[in-house]
Chains A and B, each alone.
Chain A
Amino acid sequence: MATSGKDAAAASPHPSPLAHHFQSLAKQTHALRLGMWLFLATEILLFGALFVGYGVYRNLFHEGFAAASHHLDKILGTVDTYVLITSSFTMAMASHWARERKYQLATVALIVTILFGLGFLVIHSYEYYRDVMEGALPGRYFDVPEITATGASMFYTLYYLMTGLHSIHVIIGVSVLGVLAVKTYRGHYNEEYDVPLEMGGMYWHLVDLIWIFLFPLLYLI
């Protein structure tokens, strides 16, 4: 019983990650994965409500949304997208290398992922700065003379809410990855046990997943 946990403990200098109420490490991993998927489901529902709000108002104010959307810089939005999908790739590689016990490579991959995350935040801050300078503010503060169609202010309300909540997720993701980078460098994970790294990665991929939908809805159409 619990042989895989003991093997992992014997093979690594760290104490066994197996909690006493689980029969084996494999069962613990399955339980933790399911728990993580349930958490990600609540995240999807959280963003889902905002997507529904977007759908309803886009349907009502088609012209206002189109005009406001064209006002955003879609080149910067595309750069944001490339930054996030590349960071997802480096995150997957970090997980891969940690399982092969190539800890230095894995740590470098995690640091690159963090830098991409911070890069995303820098680009997005610049976009916010540009929007604010042009008067593209939410609700009644909206003041862009060349956009006269009704509903543009509602577009910007949703734009700030959706990208803002997404950026908060990026900040949380970067913090989690920072902790994981330190623990990976110290060799806490291996082919038997890498649950925290896997779950940090799943969170990061979810952030990417949400941006994949935000990008076309806000910038392109």
Chain B
Amino acid sequence: MATSTEDKAHVQHASPVRYLICWGLLAVLTGVTFALSNVEMGSWALTIAMLIAVAKATVVSLFFMHLWDHRGANRLVFVVSILFVLVLMALTIVDSNTRFPLSLPPH
């Protein structure tokens, strides 16, 4: 009975090689983001640093936290929580950027 769930409960026994590759990727990306912080890139600096952070976060969540092997509901919860943070971030910044300047804290 319930063979599909029984089978899937133990699929996530990944090999140590996979973990080692993940660690290597994280170490390299950390080195890259550190090196790039010494390069003057103007407004691109934030975008590039965040792209690298998202890449690292993807490695951690997919392989160390086993989202790669987990079932749909777990992925949905994780993605939705990030989506809500992004909605909060976007709407709040849009709000403060479109206010009458004098209503903002002085520079």
Q: Point out residues on A near B: beta carbons under 8 Å.
A: 1, 4, 23-27, 29-30, 33-34, 37-38, 40-42, 44-45, 48-49, 51-52, 55-56, 59-61, 74, 78, 81-82, 85-86, 88-89, 91-93, 96, 99, 150-151, 191-192, 198, 201-202, 205-206, 208-209, 212-213, 215-217, 219-221
Contact = CB atoms under 8 A, between A and B. Distances in A.
B34 A78 contact: yes
A78 B105 contact: no
Interface in B1-58: 1-2, 5-6, 8-10, 13-14, 16, 19-20, 22-23, 26-27, 30, 33-34, 37, 45-46, 49-50, 52-53, 56-57
Q: Which of B8, B16, B64 has the most CB of A within 10 A?
A: B64
Contacts of A61: 107
A86 B89 contact: no
Closest 6 CB pairs of A and B: A48-B85, A41-B81, A26-B9, A220-B37, A89-B23, A216-B49
20 contacts: A37-B73, A41-B78, A41-B81, A45-B81, A45-B84, A45-B85, A51-B85, A60-B107, A74-B37, A78-B30, A85-B27, A89-B20, A89-B64, A92-B64, A93-B19, A150-B106, A151-B107, A215-B30, A216-B53, A217-B49
A221 B84 CA distance: 24
A38 B77 contact: yes
Nearest to A206: B65
A48 B86 CA distance: 8
Interface string B70-96: 110110011011101100110011001
B96 A209 contact: no
A70 to B, nearest CB: 10
Interface of B: 1-2, 5-6, 8-10, 13-14, 16, 19-20, 22-23, 26-27, 30, 33-34, 37, 45-46, 49-50, 52-53, 56-57, 60-61, 63-66, 70-71, 73-74, 77-78, 80-82, 84-85, 88-89, 92-93, 96-97, 104-107
What's the dominant secondary structure at chain B's contact region?
helix
Contacts of B49: 216-217, 220-221
Contact of B104 (A1, A24, A60, A91): A60
Contacts, number: 153
Nearest to A81: B30
What's the dominant secondary structure at chain A's contact region?
helix
Contacts of A52: 85, 88-89, 92-93
